[in-house]
Amino acid sequence: MNATHSELVVVTGASTGIGRATAQRLATDGFHVLAGVRSEAAAAEVKAGRIEPVLLDITDEDQVAALADTVRADRRPLRAVVNNAGIAVNAPIEALPLAEWRRQFDVSVFGQVAVIQAFMPALLRSKGRVVNIGSTGGKVAMPSFGAYSGAKFAMEAISDSLRREVEPFGVTVAVVIPGAIRTKLAERGNATGERLIAGMTLEQRARYAGLAKAFRATTESWGSNGLDASLVADVVSKAIRARKPRTRYTVGRDAAVMTRLTHLVSDRLLDRMVRHTMGL
């Protein structure tokens, strides 16, 4: 499918990382990109050529509705919505306060659903596409990743339901599943992790000291050895422009392996593999 600047795409979480790279890639493809950011400073940074920054905190229903109104009033069809915005709230399940679970799900599940609902009328009109950015965490749940994986597993299911609901009406749904990518996610997640550890009881801190160390080492290695975000952007572009898009795309060898693993090995073997990978 040929891109044209007479078509719109919305990218959430476009200030940094995968969202920023995706906005740049889709603008290069020729789309007019409405790039969701949460501050004036980020808006000034991402604004360029066909990239138009828009204020969009996906947990703010008024901001989501306002952008949907803007899109409705625009004569250009909405080619795609890229649900990318995300956070990582990581700690052992027993020690993660419910407010933090809610924060993870507010952004990574309910925010995504709010965006899908708000833009669906425009997507139905244009027979457009939804691209949800998943994660290997949505396929394999590592210790300390209960909330993040819970949200990403939920989005896998929601993507399947949505696809089965709207494809008869011409709207396609794809999940792009990156492996480790070099972005601010790990650094931001680690800062959250440190804060959460500080809030644990002494007993919990002692119980999970080894896990906390392994978690830090794992996420730091993703931060430094991960792939470039532009590789994810290339795949998102493919999902939007392919004549017959796939339902799922992986990015990186780790993602390709992990998405298949759960079908191939038993839970117990996977437990051992996860512990080994994290150095536990």
Ligand X SMILES: NC(=O)c1ccc[n+]([C@@H]2O[C@H](COP(=O)([O-])OP(=O)(O)OC[C@H]3O[C@@H](n4cnc5c(N)ncnc54)[C@H](OP(=O)(O)O)[C@@H]3O)[C@@H](O)[C@H]2O)c1
Binding site for ligand X (CB under 6 A): 12-13, 15-19, 36, 38, 42, 56-59, 84-87, 107, 111, 133, 135, 178, 180-181, 183-185, 188, 222, 226
Q: Which is nearer to ligand X, 126 or 218 (CB)?
A: 218
The kind and range of the H/E element at 264 are helix 253-264
Q: How far is the CB of 202 from ligand X (least distance, A)?
A: 31
**Least distance to ligand X, CB of residue 171, Å:** 21
Residue 85 CA, chain-centre distance (Å), reads 6
E strand map for 179-259: 248-251
> For ligand X, which is the closer residue by CB, 78 or 181?
181
State how beta strands 129-133 and 172-178 pair: parallel
Give the nearer residue to ligand X in terms of CB position, either 52 or 207.
Answer: 52
| 8 Å CB contact between 245 and 172 | yes
Among residues 8 and 54, whose Cβ is nearest to ligand X?
54
Annotated catalytic residue 148: yes
- Nearest residue to ligand X by CB is 17
Query: CA 74 to CA 234: how far, in whole Å?
Result: 26
CA distance 195 to 182: 22
Instruction: Choose the catalytic residue: 145, 148, 208, 249.
Output: 148
Nearer to ligand X, 86 or 92 (CB): 86
Please state the closest distance from residue 117 (CB atom) to ligand X, in A.
15
Distances (CA, A) of 18 to 5, 22, 42, 126: 21, 6, 15, 25
The least distance separating ligand X from the CB of residue 207, rounded to whole angstroms, comes to 27
Position 241, amino acid: R
DSSP class of residue 2 equals -
Specify whether the CB–CB gap between 53 and 42 falls below 8 A.
yes
C-alpha 25/C-alpha 232 separation (Å) is 10
> From the CB of 267, what's the least distance to ligand X, in Å?
22
Torsion angles phi and psi, residue 45, rounded to 5: -70, -40
What type of residue sits at position 20? R
Select from 135, 126, 159, 132 the least CA-distant residue to 1: 126
Catalytic residue numbers?
A: 148
